[in-house]
């Protein structure tokens, strides 16, 4: 299936950066809706930002005056060296204090706002329909909640403040130097910013190359991971040397890119030393001639040079920030795109299962046709007609890929039918409340995935809030209690990635216990394809029989021996019902697919 990336429209580059246009900026600002609840703190942070930026600008001025007073060129308050030095300390102290509060308040705003964004994204994720996930890679989706949100957080806390600080430095700095000496300012502005801009371009190239180096190194790691994970296969095919050669080739590429990055890095350092410092020397040289001619005071030259460095740094900083703003806009756009997706019409409140209305359990499929949204060109089901009365049990059998799982996915409204209708208790499920529908259906899937946590939590997932005795009762009925009690921690045994690994049959019994606890009217049993050993199989089967009692049940059967007792068997092939009837009836038709499947399984076993 073709997976499609998302959020990367024509205007975004490979790294997800967005061109800054008026429109993209306007849209990007929408994310600031999340700042609104914290606007007071944001404004306080902004005030501290202004204060810290302005005090910062007083520093070069005072240093110049300090120099002037030492050479007797100052007058008034600025005559006293000690006073100026104290003034400098005060400036630095204030700057330090202001910066602390700026960081403190902005962090409060960004941390809270970002947590709100994450919460909304996650809540959106779990409520989006399955079809949303079919079109996207999980990695891409999770990166919305991790990388993209982190970028927005950066933008709210650091980038915004830096943008403001650098712009103030630039504007106020240029105004002050202009006021100090127009001639020297024009000279400086004609040289220094150009050099800084050049350094910026240079820096970008280096960054791109280091990224390429990292990507190539990552490629070499993929080989290591792949081969080590499949080391048995590598050895079985005696492909050790083939893998070594493959690794060596990719490693060679990474070294080549790393070296060319190093070449640029070296050149960059040379450029900084010669170019940028050369630029400063030029400014000092021209300034010194102005001092010699009596055009400006020596102290002013010192302030001037300091302002020049500040201005240069802010020009460089703004260039960096431009890239960051672009990335943040791209990230914002991708986040907003998800937040605007249409979610499933499920209940938004938490309603306990026992307060959900119960259905009767009559199911009718009427001329159901279906194509998956990702593959509208392939018709997976056509003209499916069958009915199951409340409490009846039916089985779906047929070759792999026939459409059995699809039929039951439609019952849970993971997808809507493309044609025809499915009714429960005579009502089209599209008109039913989705939460009520799903709350009435219990599933024991083919591949049981347990959540990381205890066995108790995993069983209780069937009905959050179930009491201990209910959980134990469910585990007993599911034939799971005995094996659970063989673990020293019993129900508190951890399963999942960091816990104990349960066998296929054990996992199934936990899933059955979960379903028993849910106590659904309609039950879907998707038999495991992988064979269980006969003892485990018997325990699972007993548990399933217990679970089926009194429920409308649809079994997807792989082992025909288990479905002799069902009321009706539907044989599915190529998306259609090709045979229908009881076991006794179908097995009597020697030409029939069911009879043949039976024969085949009998011969195999």
In the complex, minimum distance from the CB of residue 131 to ligand ATP, in angstroms, rounded to a whole number: 8
DSSP class per residue in 94-152: HHHHHHHHHHHHHHHHHHHHHHHHHHHHHHHHHHS-HHHHHTS-HHHHHHIIIIIHHHH
For ligand ATP, the binding residue among 248, 358, 375, 430 (CB under 6 A) is: 375
Give the one residue of 84, 91, 325, 380 binding ligand ATP; rule: CB under 6 A: 380
- Two tokens, residue 58: 């007083």
Could you tell me which residues come within 8 angstroms of residue 512 by beta carbon, excluding any fewer than 6 positions away? 444, 478, 479, 480, 540, 543, 544, 547
Nearer to ligand ATP, 318 or 572 (CB): 572
Based on CB atoms, which residue is closest to ligand ATP, 356 or 409? 409
**Which of these ranges, 76-84, 96-104, 299-307, 400-408, lies near ligand ATP under the rule CB under 6 A?**
400-408
Give Cβ neighbours of residue 285 (< 8 Å, ≥ 6 apart).
none
Compute the least distance from the CB of residue 406 to ligand ATP, in Å.
3
Q: Which is nearer to ligand ATP, 355 or 400 (CB)?
A: 400
How far apart CA 272 and CA 196 sit, in angstroms, is 9
Choosing from 145, 280, 402, 474, the residue that interacts with ligand ATP (CB under 6 A) is 402
Q: Determine how β-strand 568-573 pairs with β-strand 393-397.
A: parallel
Beta-bridged to residue 423, according to DSSP, are: 364, 428
Contact status: 406 vs ligand ATP (CB under 6 A): yes
Reference 322, options 17, 29, 16, 102; nearest CA is: 17
Half-sphere exposure of 251 (CA within 13 A, CB side): 9
- Phi/psi at 293 (5° precision): -80, 0
Q: Which of 127, 191, 239, 405 binds ligand ATP (CB under 6 A)?
A: 405
Beta partners for residue 397, in sequence order: 571
Q: What is the dihedral sign for C-alpha 314, 317, 319, 322?
A: negative
Query: Which DSSP letter does residue 605 get?
Result: -
Which residues from 101-160 bind ligand ATP, rule CB under 6 A? 134
Tell me how many residues contact ligand ATP (CB under 6 A).
14
Identify which range of 90-98, 162-170, 367-375, 426-434 contacts ligand ATP by CB under 6 A: 367-375
Stretch that binds ligand ATP, among 36-44, 209-217, 399-407, 539-547 (CB under 6 A): 399-407
**Count, residues in the chain:** 605
Residue whose tokens read 């403040």: 161
Q: Does 400 bind ligand ATP (CB under 6 A)?
A: yes
CA distance 602 to 583: 15
CB of 510 to ligand ATP, least distance (A): 21
Residue 376 found at the interface with ligand ATP (CB under 6 A): no
Which x/- pattern over 418-457 shows residues binding ligand ATP (rule: CB under 6 A)?
----------------------------------------
Name the segment binding ligand ATP (CB under 6 A); options: 151-159, 372-380, 505-513, 531-539: 372-380
Q: Which of these segments, 288-296, 355-363, 396-404, 466-474, binds ligand ATP (CB under 6 A)?
A: 396-404
Binding site residues, ligand ATP, CB under 6 A: 1, 134, 372, 374-375, 380, 398, 400-406
């Amino acid at each position: 299936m073709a997976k499609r990336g998302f959020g990367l429209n024509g205007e975004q580059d490979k790294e997800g950066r967005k061109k800054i246009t008026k429109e993209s900026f306007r849209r990007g600002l929408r994310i600031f809706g999340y700042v609104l609840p914290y606007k007071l703190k944001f404004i306080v942070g902004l005030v501290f930002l202004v204060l810290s930026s302005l005090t910062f600008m007083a520093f070069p001025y005072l240093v110049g005056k300090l120099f002037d007073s030492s050479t007797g060129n100052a007058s008034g308050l600025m005559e006293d060296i000690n006073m100026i030095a104290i003034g400098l300390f005060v400036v630095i102290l204030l700057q330090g204090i202001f910066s602390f509060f700026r960081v403190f308040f902005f962090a409060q705003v960004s941390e809270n706002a970002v947590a709100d964004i994450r919460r909304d994204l996650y809540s959106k994720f779990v409520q989006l329909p399955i079809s949303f996930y079919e079109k996207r890679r999980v990695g891409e989706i999770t990166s919305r909640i991790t990388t993209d949100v982190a970028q927005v957080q950066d933008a709210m806390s650091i980038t915004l403040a830096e943008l403001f600080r650098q712009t103030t430095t630039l504007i106020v700095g240029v105004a002050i130097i202009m006021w100090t000496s127009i001639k020297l300012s024009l000279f400086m502005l004609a040289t220094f910013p150009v050099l800084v801009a050049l350094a910026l371009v240079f820096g970008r190239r280096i960054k791109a190359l280091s990224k390429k180096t990292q990507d190539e190194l990552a490629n070499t790691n993929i080989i290591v991971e792949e081969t080590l994970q499949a080391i048995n296969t590598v050895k079985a095919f005696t492909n050790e040397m083939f893998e070594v050669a493959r690794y060596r080739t990719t490693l060679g590429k990474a070294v080549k890119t790393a070296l060319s990055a190093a070449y640029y890095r070296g050149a960059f350092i040379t450029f900084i030393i010669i170019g940028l410092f050369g630029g400063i020397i030029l400014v000092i040289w021209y300034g010194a001639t102005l001092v010699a001619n009596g055009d400006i005071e020596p102290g002013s030259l010192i302030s001037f040079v300091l302002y020049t460095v500040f201005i240069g740094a802010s020009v460089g900083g703004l260039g960096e920030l431009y890239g960051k703003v672009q990335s943040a806009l791209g990230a914002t756009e991708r986040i907003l795109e998800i937040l605007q997706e249409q979610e499933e019409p499920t209940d938004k409140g938490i309603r306990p299962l026992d307060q959900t209305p119960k259905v009767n359990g009559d199911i009718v499929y009427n001329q159901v046709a279906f194509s998956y949204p990702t593959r509208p060109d392939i018709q997976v089901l056509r003209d499916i007609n069958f009915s199951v009365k409340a409490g009846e049990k039916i089985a779906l059998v047929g070759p792999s890929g026939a459409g059995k799982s699809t039929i039951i996915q439609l019952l849970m409204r993971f997808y809507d039918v493309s044609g025809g209708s499915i009714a429960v208790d005579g009502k089209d499920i599209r008109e039913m409340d989705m939460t009520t529908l799903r709350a009435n259906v219990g599933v024991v899937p083919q591949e049981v995935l347990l959540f990381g946590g205890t066995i108790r939590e995993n069983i209780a997932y069937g009905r959050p809030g179930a009491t201990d005795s209910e959980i134990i009762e469910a585990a007993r009925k599911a034939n799971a209690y005995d094996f659970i009690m063989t673990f020293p921690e019993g129900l508190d045994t951890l399963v999942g990635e960091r816990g104990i690994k349960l066998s296929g049959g054990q996992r199934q019994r936990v899933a059955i216990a979960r379903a028993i606890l849910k106590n659904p009217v309609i039950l879907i049993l998707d038999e495991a394809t992988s064979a269980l050993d006969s003892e485990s199989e018997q325990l699972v089967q007993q548990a399933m029989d217990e679970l089926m009692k009194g429920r409308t049940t649809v079994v997807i059967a792989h082992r025909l021996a288990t479905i002799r007792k069902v009321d009706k068997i539907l044989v599915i092939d190529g998306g259609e019902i090709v045979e229908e009837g009881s076991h006794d009836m179908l097995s009597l038709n020697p030409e029939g697919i069911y009879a043949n499947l039976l024969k085949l399984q009998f011969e195999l076993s």
